[in-house]
Amino acid sequence: MPNTWTLKDKSFEKYIISQDIQAAIDGLAQRINQEMVGKNPVFVIVLNGAFIFASDLIKKVKIDCEIAFVKLSSYAGTSSTGIVREVMGLDIDLKERTVIIIEDIVDTGLTLDSFLNTVWKMGPADVKVATCLLKPEAFKDRFPVEYVCFRIPNEFVVGYGLDYDGLGRNSEDIYKIK
């Protein structure tokens, strides 16, 4: 992919290259392979953005595991309250299960905070979060995030599943706004 990418009215520059993303995922997968032995975790993939990261991560997970999908959507104008809607709900029983939620990016964490409450109410044995990117300044340690590939400053990024107004998901590299 080129070093500069224009999507609609915004310009983006290459930020994290594919090789670095894959190396970080290798490290994460190794940890999961060690820490989740015998636990048969359920990976809950948060659509749309996490599909590429989840696919790359799960291909490197060598222990028994299952996958499920959920699509979350913030109510318009209420994202600051963290009220989210499940547009496509979970179709798996999480009771007594070890759950690993896979996100593309944790920004304020409000979306996941709300979904975590929903998941905990289903009686899982344990719930962990894996994310490709985390913005610590916005997140303020709202809840534990066990598996993180990259901590980044508060800048808007696209690529590798992340979009700007629907565009930009189709890149193996991550770009940041210029």
Minimum CB distance to ligand IMP, residue 131 (Å): 9
Instruction: Report how far residue 177's alpha carbon sits from residue 5's, in angstroms, rounded to the nearest whole number.
Output: 9
Q: Are strands 84-88 and 66-74 parallel, antiparallel or unpaired?
A: antiparallel
Q: Which is nearer to ligand IMP, 41 or 49 (CB)?
A: 49
> Two tokens at 98?
């070890």
Minimum CB distance to ligand IMP, residue 113 (Å): 8
Q: Which is nearer to ligand IMP, 15 or 35 (CB)?
A: 15
Active-site amino acid positions: 107
Instruction: Report how far residue 143's alpha carbon sits from residue 158's, in angstroms, rounded to the nearest whole number.
Output: 24
Minimum CB distance to ligand IMP, residue 66 (Å): 22
Instruction: Report how far residue 112's alpha carbon sits from residue 107's, in angstroms, rounded to the nearest whole number.
Output: 10
Cβ pair 2, 13 in contact under 8 A = no
Instruction: Report how far residue 15's alpha carbon sits from residue 117's, in angstroms, rounded to the nearest whole number.
Output: 33
Closest CA to 176 of 150, 153, 142, 147: 153
Minimum CB distance to ligand IMP, residue 90 (Å): 17
Q: Which is nearer to ligand IMP, 63 or 177 (CB)?
A: 177
As a whole number of Å, the CA-based R_g of the chain is: 16
Q: Which is nearer to ligand IMP, 36 or 134 (CB)?
A: 134
Residues within the interface to ligand IMP (CB under 6 A) = 49, 103-111, 156-158, 162
